[in-house]
Structure formats: C-alpha cells, structure tokens
Amino acid sequence: MSNKPWVVDDELWVRIGPLLPTWPERSPGPRPVDDRLCLQGILFVLYTGIAWQQLPPELGFGSGQTCWRRLGRWQEAGVFESLHRLLLAELNAAGLIDWTRACVDAPRTCEKRGAATGPSPVDRRKTGSKHHVISDGGGIPFHVITTAANVNDVTRTLDLVDGIPPVAGRVGRPRRRPEALLGDKGYDSNPNRRELRKRRILPVISRRGEPDIIDLGKLRYVVEQTFAQLHQFKRLAVRWERRLELHNAFVSLACALICWRRLNRQAQ
C-alpha cells in the first residue's frame, strides 16, 4: 500500500469520476474545489480519523466543510454504493467472488450520541453502534448495516441477505444469493432458517445449547478479516458522525476500497 493511501490513482478515478454528479455550469459563488481533490480529502479523513476542521489546507483538498458537504452530496446521489457494485462486478467477472457461502457477524463500534446508537449489552452499557456485515466466502464485503449496539444480531440476518446488491460480471442475470449462509449461535433462529430456505440458501448456523458445527469457525474466520479491514479505516473504528447517512457513506466507500485492493492484488 502507498504511504499516501488517500491519493486517488488514475485507474480508480476512471471508475469513480463518471459516477459523480456534475456541477451546474452557472452555479453561484466561487468555483468549486476539484472533485478529485475533494475525494482525496474525504479519503484522508477516512484513513486517519482526523476531525473535519483539522484537515490540512496545505494538501489542497479544500476546507473540511467543503469535503463534508461533498460527502453528503455524493451519498445522496448514491455514488459510493454504485462504486461498490461496480467493483463487485469486476471481482465477479474475474472469478474472485466465492458464492458457495456467505458469512455474517456484528462487532461494536463506539459513538457517544447520534442516530443508530444505544447501550451496549456487553460493554458496561456504553453507548455505541454496531456494524452488521455479510461477506462472501473469501471475505469480500457484500453489505453492511449500522444499528445501535443493543440490537440483536439475529434481527438483521434477513436484512443482510436481502441487502446483497445484484452483482453483474458474468453471463446471465446478476447474482445476489449465496448457496449457504454461515453464522454463529447469535444467529440461531428457526424462522430465519425457514426464510433462508425459501430464498434457496442453506442455513449453516449453530444452535444454542448444542455443540458448534464442526469446522464452522474455520469457514467463518474470513468475516473477522473483513471487520479488521473495515476498522483499519480509523473513521470507522470509532464512529464520529452523528448523521447516520454520513457514517454509511464512509462505510460504503470503505467496502469499495477493500474490493479495489482485492482487484489490485489479483492483478499483481
């Protein structure tokens, strides 16, 4: 990885640039900061976790307020989700997505106040949020849901499955269903098992009060790697955005960057 990971290279910009909404030709006020520089400012905040008002002006990203507003504008336009789907399609075309199974898990991230926060049942009731993640069998993130820390994992199982975007890249209809779903005892639910089977997904979920399914942990470790990659972005390890849509913008951008790294790793 570059020692300046927030710098957007030409290959990534070719994919992002067409997704960004254009500015009106006769927009009032001064000329807006270049989109590429603004994106690099957003990435700088995502990687370092620095406060918006502390964004170094000498790097040419524009002010923190400029980047913050551009982040909200692009999230409203669906830019980051579109980029994530685009890169998933490229991974699928290269045969890098493992559709034989998907894995789910949900660790906690801290935040004192704001939307989708609540007392953690496992950390002295500290207020925080939780990232519910579903990944493919190789740890590529499909979908992430942010909720309050006191939301039970099992209640978001079907939302995660149904949140997998349609992934193109192969001949035929875009795919959005894995063959099996792997989960620990926190996802034990007979109604969810029935719903998964209706979706033609085999539930491989340990039951409470019974021994764990043999070798399930060896197959599910990839989702732990996905969380480790997500939380390498310091702005996600501790949630600072009170506005949920801005936090979700960072989450979608991080998922896209993880996909981009996987593509680059394959190309090398």
Contact indicator for 63, 145 with CB cutoff of 8 Å: no
- Pick from 65-74, 239-248, 249-258: least confident: 239-248
User: pLDDT-based confidence at 11, cuts 50/70/90?
Assistant: very high
**Residue that wins the pLDDT comparison between 79 and 172:** 79
Q: Where are the domains of the chain?
A: 10-76, 98-238
Please state whether 30 falls in left (phi above 0), alpha (psi between -120 and 50) or beta: beta
Here the tokens at position 127 are 């207020």
Q: Which CATH class is domain 98-238?
A: alpha beta
Alpha carbon 221 to chain centroid distance? 18
Among candidates 143, 134, 145, 144, which has minimal Cα distance to 101? 134
Helix (H) or strand (E) holding 85: helix 79-93
- pLDDT computed for residue 109 by the predictor: 59
Percent of all residues in the chain with a pLDDT value above 70, rounded to a whole number: 86
- pLDDT computed for residue 1 by the predictor: 46
Average pLDDT over residues 181-205: 93
How many C-beta atoms surround the C-beta of residue 154 within 10 A? 18
- pLDDT computed for residue 134 by the predictor: 95
Alpha carbon 170 to chain centroid distance? 23
pLDDT tens readout for residues 103-148: 998 876 555 555 555 454 444 456 678 899 999 999 999 999 999 8
Contact indicator for 184, 107 with CB cutoff of 8 Å: no
**Residue that wins the pLDDT comparison between 126 and 188:** 188
Contact indicator for 134, 116 with CB cutoff of 8 Å: no
